[in-house]
Structure 1
């Protein structure tokens, strides 16, 4: 466990509601989580967007110039804007001034900045974005990776995702004996495309992965699996579909609750239950997704994140720092360094 307070660099300029919502979430995190916040962005915009600027005295402001817009190409934009907020935030981690980065900005730019400035962990070919989702079992979640970092994958990439997911599930999510599944169109080992068939065999043969078989789409949220591995193309579709289902469930509940005085009384009685439902299905409650495999902690939040989601993203980053996820992945991965044939 980390012995010192986690220092989190927060990209104040990233996201649809930046900087106001980002600042509000960061101030709350400072107060409730016991972390040190380095708020990265344009000081003038940050002060103008903060209703009570005095609260900013609790945080350390790190000046940056500009941001990467959602419609900009990541790599060229990062090189053209070396002082953009995401670049400056990643540099803070590289220079050991911060332990982690949180950003709700351009996810492609965040991943590219992490690779350019932090590099990959030794033994990892590609990083993966891991998102945590609720399951039908109370207090049980599932880690899905990759959900967008790699749209085209080779078999060894998915094998590495499974190793990293196992370590993260065990040490950060607290699952003593995690179960790992491979997203596929059927349970049988022969099902799926060539990538799925080859990965299935590799996971079966890897002693570092507690692999229990293929996971069909209906199994992902069943609670049967603690980690589900897939390529970033399929994972991103799954991620956005799951988020949409969560929003639909909440909207249906709002529409179907009785109206009038009787309805208000009933709603008050159900309030604790409704709050728990929201916590389980609302993606904002989970904060963001961790970029696993880079030499630093980076949490990528949804572009539409508001203050509660930013708070939860900072909480996720703190947990990753406190549980030394980088050191554990590096150490345990090296113990089981997987020989891969050329072309894998």
Structure 2
């Protein structure tokens, strides 16, 4: 239909097809009279459509007035600024969406709990830490469902090593297992991460992990009596709504957690995996503050490691570091 604005390649910046056509025409000439510009837009100088289109371009800094004529602002400055502004807007929007996603487990839990009859007994059983592995083994016989884990520090306790052997047996039988570790495991116990990955477990890392958690299919979950305190007691939860809520919590953090590049590559050591994880964050355009939160590091440590990485790659900018890392096959 004549006169109808269609999406333009610059629509992501808020420009219509007409506005992009005018701006590109202005780029090809030193200056343009309003009458010529209006003719290009298929309208008249005195029309509100022309005034709105030109005023919007001037507000965005893309078009300037030179006496009575219109001239284009240099794109390397004007468009670069608009792209930067749009990038920051989208980043803020992504953070807001991430915050909403983080609320989903709690909202879903509220919804599920209200669907159960009032007065339904919540099935909880308290056991001691030495009973954890035998309990998990018994629960695994009740379902063929996958295993889900938060493993913030299990490599430091005997029960964690016993669980490794039992999980290895299930994985050999074709059972699926997923685990989220704190990013510090890459420095504290990289061999644990590599061992579980070699067994066939899907592992990811997160800056911080709230506490120990084991979920066996949809049958039961094992949680500490307190996430914030070390305790020998563990709760076995069988109430379906609570198990589903804990599963939703796991899935929300699993989605945020990061795959460790090169983890299953025998030629890649722990230090190299940590370096590739940092490179992966840089390649995503993450800022130092975001990387620090994601990897559970201090801002100073992140900046030092980025500087060391750029020195190693002989790069003067992060963009150059990314290009050189790709050339070397690091990412």
Give the TM-score category using the shorter length.
Answer: under 0.3
Higher normalized contact order (CA 8 Å, seq sep 6+, divided by chain length): 1
Higher helix share: 2
TM-score normalised according to structure 2 size? 0.22
Higher alpha-carbon Rg? 2
